[in-house]
Amino acid sequence: MIEILVLLTMGFFVVMIIHTNQMRLAIVYLAVFSLLAALLYLLYAAPELAIAEGIIGSGIVTLLYLAALKKNRVYTVGVVSIPSRLKVEDHYMYTLEGSEALKDIRDFFVRREVEVQVVFLDIPLERALDNTAYDLILSDDGKQITAHTDEDNYVMVELELMIQMRGFGGSIQFQRTSAGTIPTHGAKKEATE
Amino acid sequence: MDNYDSLDDLGEESLVIQLMIGLLYPFMLLFGFYIIVNGHYTPGGGFQGGSVLATLFVARYVVFPVDDTDSEVLHTIQKIFLAFIVLIPMAVLFTEVIHQLPRWQSAYLTLMDILIGVQVGFGLGVAVLRFAFFQGVGKTWHL
């Protein structure tokens, strides 16, 4: 009886591994799957195998995958609201998360199998642009979302192309800064489309 | 890198992972040697305990990814242990010493478990380190 329960739970986790979008979650599900397999071996009276499965499956393999994921580049998208009276609060985040622009950007990175994290910033735009931790800065002035990217960043060029092709060009405006120089808010050239 | 603000910094290691692995590290070491030493009369043994020891290398890489371990030295130690794993059973079994000294049988098994454990631990550890710090061409190792 309990064996069938464990097997069904393992099947559930296999489906979860395949259907999750975030690789980190898939790794955690894989570790849980390995632990359940170890429990199953224990129920079938094979403790040696259970120890080996538990250690290698949920120990070494999980940590190795995490190490491999660390080599994988994570794109960090910072979101700045231009009028600073717009406080970064929960309902503001939900509104922006539900917007077409951010959905498109997430979709773009998921298609390219690149991990993306969106960070809401409570700092002025100039400071966000100076910070090298963000690959893409979105600024929201209430009506329009502007994307600030490097000139040489081909990923962002592709992103711009995809958004233009899908017909959402009106919702995001792109602004390029030349790479290498520290961008300041005044000295920026507008990219004409 | 130089104008990172501490508040906006996202490149740092996760504090949760650092603390948990730091807390678990001695227990993992103890657990590995427990499995190795008790391998001849409880489940476990050289391979399983050695895998736990290899997990330590990966855990250290996850927290502190600096290539300061000379994997050549680890590889040489692993080869020496592998030679002992072949030589000691030949010396003990072919001369039939073990049948004349039955009291020493468990000691012999423990010794073999320790040898296999260290060999597997260092072997898997070397494999993991080479995977983790492999930078494409340029830095190569001799196998």
Tell me: the pLDDT tens digits for A175-190? 666 544 444 333 333 3
Kindly determine whether residue A63 and residue B62, on different chains, have CB atoms separated by under 8 Å. yes
pLDDT at B25: 92
HSE-CB at A32 with a 13 A cutoff on CA atoms is: 17
Facing residue for B58 by CB, picked from A48, A60, A121: A60
A56 touches chain B (CB under 8 A): yes
pLDDT of residue A182: 40
Cα A174 → chain centroid? 21
Mean pLDDT for chain B overall: 80
**Lowest mean pLDDT: which of A64-73, B78-87, B110-119?**
A64-73
Q: Give the A:B interface size as CB pairs under 8 Å.
A: 68
* DSSP 8-state code for residue A73: -
The closest CB to that of B51, out of A47, A56, A130, belongs to A56
* Residue for token pair 């736990």: B52
Residues of chain A with pLDDT under 70: 70-73, 83-89, 112-113, 132, 142-143, 150-155, 166-173, 175-193
Q: How far is CA A127 from CA A68, A140, B92, in A?
A: 31, 15, 72
Q: Do B8 and A121 touch (CB under 8 A)?
A: yes
The average pLDDT across B14-33 equals 89
pTM: 0.60
B118-139 mean pLDDT: 77
**Nearest residue, CB atoms, A131 vs list B5, B54, B128:** B5
* Nearest-by-CA chain A residue for B128: A64
Q: Please answer yes or no on whether B55 and A63 come within 8 Å at the CB atom.
A: yes
Name the DSSP letter for residue A74. Answer: E
Q: Which residue of A27, A34, A55 is the best one to mutate when testing the B interface, meaning the one whose CB has the most B CBs within 10 A?
A: A55
- Cβ neighbors of A77 (< 8 A, separation 6 or more) are A105, A116, A117, A118, A119, A134, A135, A136, A137, A138
Instruction: Please judge whether A133 and B124 are an interchain contact, meaning their C-beta atoms are less than 8 angstroms apart.
Output: no
State the SS3 of chain B.
CCCCCCCCCCCCCCHHHHHHHHHHHHHHHHHHHHHHHCCCCCCCCHHHHHHHHHHHHHHHHHHCCCCCCCHHHHHHHHHHHHHHHHHHHHHHHHCCHHHHCHHHHHHHHHHHHHHHHHHHHHHHHHHHHHHHCCCCCCCCCCC
Please name the amino acid found at residue B103.
R
Parallel, antiparallel or unpaired: strands A136-140 and A115-121: unpaired
Residue A20 pLDDT: 85
Flag whether the ipTM exceeds 0.85.
Answer: no
- CB A149, CB A156: distance < 8 Å: yes
Are A131 and B3 inside 8 Å of each other by CB? yes
Six-digit token string for B67: 């290539």
pLDDT reported for residue A63: 79
- The answer to whether A60 faces chain B, any CB pair under 8 Å, is yes
